[in-house]
Structure 1
Amino acid sequence: MRLWLLTGSYMAAPAHSEPTAPPLGTTPPAGCPRRLWPGGFRPLWSNDPSRGRWRSFLRRVGLGVFLGLLASGRPADAPIPIERDYTVRTWRKEHGLPDNRVLSLLVARDGFLWVGTRAGAARFDGHKFEIWGHPTHAAFTNDTCRALAEGPDGRLWVATDEGVVVLGERPEWPLFTRGSSDPAAVSPSGPVAFRNVLATLQGRVLAGCENGLWVGGDTNGWPSRALADGLARVTITRLLQTADEAVWAGTDRQLYRLAPGANVWEPQFAEGAASETHYIHSLAAGGDNTVFVIRGNWPQRTGWLYRRTATAWQQVSDLELFNAGEALCLAAGAGGGVWFSETPFRLGWWRDGEHRSYSLDGVLNADDRVLCLAEDGDQNLWLGTESGGLYCLQRRRVATLTARDGLPHANTWALLEAADGAFWVGTDGGLARFQNGTVRTFVEDTGLANPRVRALAEDAQGRVWIGTGAGLNVWNGTRLDAVRFEGPWFRTKIRCLLRARDDAMWVGTAQGLHRLRNGESRSWFPEDGLPHEDVRVILEARDGGIWLGTHGGGLAHLHGDGFERFDERQGLSSPRVWALTEDEDGWLWIGTDRGLNCLREGRISPVTTAQGLPDNLVNSLILDPDGWFWIGHDSGIYRVRRADVAAVVTGRQTALDAVVYDESDGLVRLETNGQISQPAVLRRRDGRVAFATVAGVALFDPRRLPDLTNGPPARIERLVAGNVPLFTAHPGAPTNGLEHAALLAVPNADRHVAISFTAPNFRSGEKTRFRYRLLGLNAEWVEAGLTRVATYAHLAPGDYTFEVVAANAQGYWSATPARIAFRIEPRLFERAGVQLTTALALAGAAGWIIRWRQREARRFQQLEHAASLARERERMSRDLHDGLGSCLTEISLLSCQGETAGWPATAGSTFQALARRSGEALEALRELIWANNPKADNLGALLARAGDQVDRMLTTARIRARFDLPADPPMIAVGPVFRRQVLLALREAVNNAVRHAQARQVTLRATPGPRQLVIEVTDDGVGFQPGAATHAARAAPGLGLHSMRQRIESLGGGFELHSAPGAGTRVIFRLPLPHA
């Protein structure tokens, strides 16, 4: 039925009732209100004088005619609620968005979403926003980002209210602003406010404003007006480049095309008198160089959608579009389709002639509207709004049966697919049967015992058994009957139903276990051995055994009339068992509130979150033919490979990965049912897996899973050493990070390296998991979980390559890792040359120390030996002095007595000779004792002894003696051999002066130096010819000169003889001395 409304000034009908648009170039009637009101009406007649005939017609015909029109026509198609096909997520300032007014959107080639706001541009990865703007980025003199564009090199161009800013590897810098090289780029009142920007494939940048088009490029300076002359003094509304490299420019009057290589802008629409109907609201590029455009009236914010094919322009839809106060927006979609705003609260989708309208009522605020659109590679639709922030519409990838599809209540509990193909759903509000496109519901008024349906089963006759919160029903195909047997249990809560292979119907209730067969019943209660009266799940095993899960009594196995119980004492993780299933190997899998358990060969092994399950709670459990367990719990649905769980159970692996599904995959609500109902999960004949949830039935098709099989691409954001950032990702940066970076050591800091990474993932981005490794340190992957930074401390010098991969919520990993290579430069002491030099120096020092220690050891041994010899010499000296010295003294005294005793002359001379020789022997003994005395082993003792010896000899010979000896000689150790040889040689020299020189004076001079001792013996005697004396000494080796020379040279010294007839004689001993 078409509804017509008669008002005081015009007549209106629903927007879809008259699908016509005004001809191109026509002018809207003066005073005409908006053609599409928020309520969905559009004017058909207005106050335009040209339409006076219609007003006359209305007056003549009257109200009755219009009432007759109420019965004609067809209703307009109602828009689809957006939440039926899409999940909606929202980000606002409290989530990190710079501002709730989103002016522009761009999906970059590296997967990030860029958002332009009044508070700067933000890069979004699904987890956090990273913001570029003033004052952290000096290029932004104004933070209002009207438009975003990505260049061929990946750099980002931002149109602001005070110029264009480029973000890239080089420092950000503004273009077309105050101070630009072209003064015309600045309006007289201040910087240019740009509304759109385009980076072309040819390397040019086009920026549009109310004063026309500005063009620039890296090769010809900034800016250039070469291509802008044709679009001067017009308002540039939109810019676009298609795959054929043609550039499109929308203005407030016309749409222009610049062909590749051309310099002339070609208008696309015929010029008409009403140029305001040529206002270009938005542009988008479809496949095969198709261009979509919304063209219409700017003052009234209306427009129509057109498409340009290879031959001509076509009006895609006759629906008049309207956006109160703002331009209409477009976004290219998958498969050549296009998204567009229809009204402030409606979105349109068009592809290949198919047009769908989606209502945003209940999603946007009443005073909000869509300002911009963008679709990413995963077909997520992004909406930028005026005041509500950023929205993401994600297509529901999980089908759901809800109240809109005929369920009597959204909270579903039990599922059944009957033999006739009917799909039964038990809910809190009754029972629903879906078959052949129709839905039939059963409630209390139709005979249902209770609207809370908790259990369903089908018997061999095709009858459907229905367990409710207060009794049992059976549907026989035509009517609903109540099952009444003796006992109170049939009026209690029915938890589960099982048709056994022997056609018995097992019934688990809140008050015991019951079996119905051939019209008879049998019951088991705790007094009969049932572990707990509340039976939650029943399973018939392959061998015909009946297994029960209870609420508090654990697992029970019915043997005949008795039960075998399994609980915590046998290893069960919890006594509350809510789900059971058996696999082909006969392993029994048990779902509890504390994990999944496996019973095999009489032994129970639990698997929990510690091994990788997303949650310990198991509400429902089923195994599909592909070997996947499907598990529902209170926080979602997941699947896990049976082989992985078995490997954990048998100890062949320690952890497993699960594929998790949540709202981002299309679940209306996360919570599933099953704790008090069976079956809460079902595998249908077409392969789909159905879950009973609190918001309807969720249906998964294993052949077309909602998984995003392409793992999110990992991206490296920054590398920091100490507090110094060495690498920061920027628009246009290689997706694999930096190839090589010299990591310079920070003075007085350890080598602490922190690498931040992320992955653009807009479906459950907060659940993105990472693993990384540092080649050069360890080739093993490190499971980082949700952590997005890796830190290393005290890295050794060398080359390293960091790799990171990311996984989405379904467990799919990045195809290739993101990499960044860097080098730890060695410190000075870590360089190879320095280390080699240091090693050689240390080796030399070690050798020197070893040799020094060896010398010291030998010296110590020598000192010990010398000390021992000194002690022995001292002992011998005492023995000689006390023994032989006493005897010689006694002999000398006796000789003197004999000489004076009056003996004959011959005897007297004998006694005299004996006394003389004994005196000489005694003197020789004294010298020997002195020579062996260790206390005399020094230069001072030697010189003192020499002086005493020379003085006695010269006094006896009555020759005057003169001494030139040091008063304080250095303390230099000299050995006994040295002392004895020097004294004997000195005695010989003095003896020669006494016997042969006829001298009156003999001088003894000793001059000790640092390394040498010089002893001179000089007389003033008759002298002699040194040559003759030397020859005589060689001919007669017994002469004294030869003896003196030998003694001195044996000590390593030198002997000199200086003499001349009548000039006296000088004998010089040059003796080496040890170190002081």
Structure 2
Amino acid sequence: YRMHEEGARLVRSLPGISHATAMLQDRRGDLWLGTENQGLFRLGSRGVEHLPENRQVRSGRIASLFEDAEGSIWVGGNGGLYRLRETLFSNRTTADGLSGDYVRAVMEDDRQRLWVGSAAGLDRIERDGRIVPVPLRNSVGRAPSVLSLAQSRDGAGWAGTFGDGIYRIDRDGRSRHYGRAEGLAAGNVRVMSADRDGNGIWAGTQRGLVRITEDGVHVPTAKGMPGGLVTALLASDDGLWVGTIEGIRVLRGNTVQRLDVDSLGGGRSIFGFTPVGDAMWITSDRGLYRYRDGQLARVGLEQGMPVDTVFEMVPDRLGNVWISSNRGVLRTTLAALDDVADGRSARIEVERYNEIDGMHNAQANGSTGPSATLRSDGTYWVATAGGLSMVDPARLQHFRERLPPPVVVESVRLDGVPLHWHAQGVTKVPGGQRVTVGYVGLSYLMSDRIRYRTRLEGLDRDWIERGNQRSVEFVGLPPGDYTLHVSAMHPGGRWSESEAAWKFTVEPLLWQRRSVQAAAGILLLLALVALYRYLIHRYKTSNIRLASQ
């Protein structure tokens, strides 16, 4: 109910919610309801939402709700104190209905349905969000482990498996199996790509390539085609691109071209191909390669990539590029990649996302495919060892608009020994010692990713960015008055206007004191006068001795 002058007015009926014990309206206008023993609910534009059981607060009465300055919701109840925070990524796991959490492939079909292949079988996420298992069975009656997915031009879905061949699922849900009896090599089918010239597919096996058409399974005979494990595959207008653990082959008609990536950074294992304009981007065990106009360029560890092995590169509609790896999902821009590949920039700025950002498991899977995809609604989906993770790139700006964290000076050490210091006033620091100042941004949101910058007034003219380094050290500061300014920001956000400032004075050493320097000057002057008088005396004595001879 909402209270008005004329009385209470019913806003929404809540069938099934028997006893609300706490209520909060957040900054977005959503209403949070704590209950006696049914957990936490949210009422907003999406209707009534209830936290899943595996993420719900422990059973018992919710007594209080509070929203902090960063938008986190704090929940106090019989089960303890909880904090709910909004994350960039969301997930689909077995708790949501997937057959398995170890997801290897994800693909959207022409009906905007999402196909998900995992170690426990094949699922389909319908447009309304429902997860429907696709019934496939191997020779022993079990669901096959699905490694790769594709959709052919006739709308049929294809699933490559771990040791159980390939399944074709037509639009009516009927499936057909291709195995050794049909001429398919034994082993794993890690990658597939729709045939651009018909209603079949190309498939990469442990013994090279095959082409499956309405007529059956065919093995290409072009000289130079790889005969071992195929780890990446793409049928494009520029030919059939084939990635293996020994580099790249491109099939054009009956001609095979070999691209030598080993000589540029030592790349060998190829995991994916992404055409962007007139360039082909290639993911590998040595970072990213770009092939354009017959030339290869590389963006790897030396150019700022945080990891060596990357699996799938997916551009979105906002200029971002999402890159999966077994150590999280990376994000940069296509313009930044081109700048490094063209030599206009030496290093690239990359953001890395993991469990802190909401991923259930930051280990993205690769060497199967497609292991990540961009849906028609603009969302990015990636296969991980802990389910399927999703991010809406359009929400990035919302996360960047968060208030920057306030920052405080946390500690001061002199030659490693803690110093009793004052936030207000001026702290005296003996000269000749190593000064180490620790500081911290006050935030519950991704605190280990907060970036810092410092400026030592009295020495520095400009700010010096420190990354996520939480201390700064000064050695050999000359005597004088200083003020250390510290500012912080969340990744991609803005710098905090409220700075931490610590004022201190470096006291001079004994020989640096003015009184000592004045006394030393007087002594030096007296010594020079004495030396002068001594030399004059010797000169006169010498002249007298010479005159007497």
TM-score (norm 2): 0.81
Q: Which residue, out of 300, 316, 321, partners 2:19?
A: 321
Cα displacement (A) at 1:357: 5.0
Flag the 1:826–1:378 CA change in 2: closer, same or farther, 3 A.
closer
Amino acid paired to 1:321: H
CA-CA distance at 1:522 after TM superposition: 5.0
Q: Does 1:701 align with 2:392?
A: yes
- Tell me the equivalent position of 1:812: 493
Amino acid at match of 1:640: T
Q: 1:566 aligns with which of 235, 260, 263?
A: 260
Residues 585 and 436 of structure 1: CA distance in aligned 2, closer, same or farther (over 3 Å): closer
- 1:481 matched to 2:172: no
Cα pair distance change 1:530/1:520, threshold 3 Å? same
Q: Deviations over 1:295-350 (max 9, x none)?
A: xxxxxxxxxxx76545646688785538xxxxx54545334555343124522445
- 2:281 is matched with 589
The answer to whether the 8 Å contact 1:415/1:426 transfers is yes
Q: Deviations over 1:654-698 (max 9, x none)?
A: 4433233333433233232222x2111112222222212334433
Which of 503, 510, 531 is the matching residue for 1:822? 503
Contact 1:776-1:800 at 8 Å conserved across structures: yes
- Partner amino acid for 2:156? R
Matches within 5 A, 1:10-159: none
Q: Which has the higher helix share?
A: 1
Amino acid at match of 2:300: V
In 2, Cα distance between equivalents of 1:789 and 1:655? 24
2:452 is equivalent to residue 758 of structure 1: no
**Aligned equivalent of 2:114, options 405, 415, 423:** 423
CA apart distance, 1:573? 4.0
Identity over the aligned pairs, expressed in percent?
24
Matches within 5 A, 1:598-997: 598-599=290-291, 602-608=295-301, 611-675=303-367, 677-705=368-396, 707-710=399-402, 712-718=404-410, 720=412, 722=414, 723-728=418-423, 741-746=425-430, 750=432, 752-808=434-490, 810-816=491-497, 818-824=499-505, 826-827=507-508, 834=515, 838=518, 842=521, 849-850=527-528, 852-870=530-548, 873=549
SS in 1 for 2:171: coil
2:193 pairs with 1:512: no
Equivalent pair of 1:308/1:314 in contact (CA under 8 Å): yes
Q: Is the 8 A contact 1:554 1:575 kept in 2?
A: yes
Q: What is the distance in 2 between the residues matched to 1:682 and 1:417? A: 8
Which residue pairs with 1:950 in the alignment?
Answer: none
Task: Tell me, yes or no, if the aligned pair for 2:201 and 2:213 is still in contact at 8 Å.
Answer: yes
State how far apart, in whole Å, the 2-side matches of 1:774 and 1:563 are.
58
Distance in 1 of aligned mates of 2:453 and 2:249: 43
Partner in structure 2 of residue 158 of structure 1 = none
- Unaligned stretches of 5+ residues in structure 2: none
Secondary structure in 2 aligned to 1:704?
A: helix
AA at the equivalent of 1:429: A
2:184 aligns to what SS in structure 1?
A: helix
Counterpart in the other structure of 1:578: 271
SS in 2 for 1:462: coil
* The one of 169, 194, 202 aligned to 1:499: 194
Q: Matched residues in 2 for 1:853 and 1:506: separation? A: 99
1:393 and 2:84 matched: yes
Q: For residues 628 and 321 of structure 1, do their structure 2 counterparts lie closer, same or farther at Cα, with a shift above 3 Å needed?
A: same
Aligned to 2:246: 553
The alpha-carbon distance between structure 1 residues 758 and 493, as it changes in their structure 2 partners (threshold 3 A), is: same
Deviations 1:231-256 (A, max 9, x none): xxxxxxxxxxxxxxxxxxxxxxxxxx
What per-residue deviation string (whole Å, max 9, x for no partner) do you get for residues 184-218 of structure 1?
Answer: xxxxxxxxxxxxxxxxxxxxxxxxxxxxxxxxxxx
Deviation at 1:480, TM superposition (A): 2.3
Judging by fraction of residues, say which structure has more strand: 2
Paired residue secondary structure (2:65) = strand
Counterpart code for 1:668: H
- C-alpha separation in 1, matches of 2:37 and 2:391: 34
- CA RMSD of the aligned region, Å? 4.1
Aligned to 1:913: none
- What is the one-letter code of the residue matched to 1:571? L
Matched-pair contact (CA < 8 Å) for 1:805–1:813: no
Cα separation, partners in 2 of 1:505 and 1:341, compared to 1, 3 Å: closer
Superposed displacement of residue 777, structure 1: 1.8
User: Highest relative contact order (Cα 8 Å, sep 6+), 1 or 2?
Assistant: 2
Letter in 2 for 1:795: L
SS of the residue 2:144 aligns to: coil
Quote the Cα distance in structure 2 between the aligned partners of 1:715 and 1:378: 14
Query: What letter is aligned with 1:511?
Result: R
Give the AA of the match of 1:418.
D
What is the Cα deviation at residue 712 of structure 1?
Answer: 3.3
CA contact (8 A) 1:745 1:827 kept: no
- Residue 415 of structure 1 contacts residue 456 of structure 1 at CA under 8 Å; is this kept in 2? yes
Secondary structure, aligned partner of 2:399: coil
Q: Aligned ranges for residues 1016-1031 of structure 1 at < 5 Å? A: none
- State the distance in 1 between where 2:220 and 2:461 align: 61
Alpha-carbon distance in 1 for matches of 2:227, 2:465 = 43
CA contact (8 A) 1:759 1:806 kept: yes
Amino acid at match of 2:122: L
Asked if the contact 1:720–1:727 (Cα under 8 Å) also holds between the matched residues in 2, the reply is: no
Distance 1:634 1:392 in 2: 28
Q: 1:486 to 1:745 in 2, by over 3 A?
A: closer
| Amino acid in the other structure paired with 2:438 | S
Q: How does 1:445-460 map to 2 (within 5 A)?
A: 451-460=144-153
Q: CA contact under 8 A between 2:167 and 2:175: conserved in structure 1? A: yes
Structure 1, residues 337-379: CA drift from partner, whole Å, max 9, x if none?
A: 553431245224456996555576775556x654543222343
Alignment size in residue pairs: 535
Cα distance in structure 2, aligned partners of 1:456 and 1:672: 17
TM alignment of 1:522-533, pairs within 5 A: 522-523=218-219, 529-530=224-225, 533=228
SS in 2 for 1:444: coil
**CA–CA distance in structure 2, aligned partners of residues 453 and 345 of structure 1:** 38
Cα displacement (A) at 1:631 = 1.4
Distance in 2 (alpha carbons) for counterparts of 1:419 and 1:513: 25
SS of match in other structure, 1:575: coil
SS in 1 for 2:448: helix
| 2: CA distance, partners of 1:755 / 1:411 | 45
TM-score (norm 1): 0.44
Q: Secondary structure at the match of 1:820?
A: strand
State the distance in 2 between where 1:338 and 1:861 align: 103
What one-letter code is carried by the residue in structure 2 that aligns with 1:771?
R
Q: Distance in 2 between matches of 1:708 and 1:857?
A: 78
2:241 is aligned with 1:538: no
Partner residue of 1:72? none
* Residues in 2 aligned to 1:790 and 1:337: alpha-carbon distance in whole angstroms: 42
**Secondary structure class of the residue paired with 2:337:** helix
CA gap of 1:821–1:538, structure 2 versus 1, over 3 A, is same
Q: Specify whether residues 428 and 385 from structure 1 end up closer, same or farther in structure 2 by C-alpha distance, changes over 3 A only.
A: same
Specify the structure having the higher radius of gyration (Cα): 1
Q: Cα distance, 1:595 vs. partner?
A: 3.2
- SS where residue 515 of structure 1 aligns? strand
Q: CA deviation at 1:630?
A: 0.5
Q: What letter matches 2:313 in structure 1?
A: L
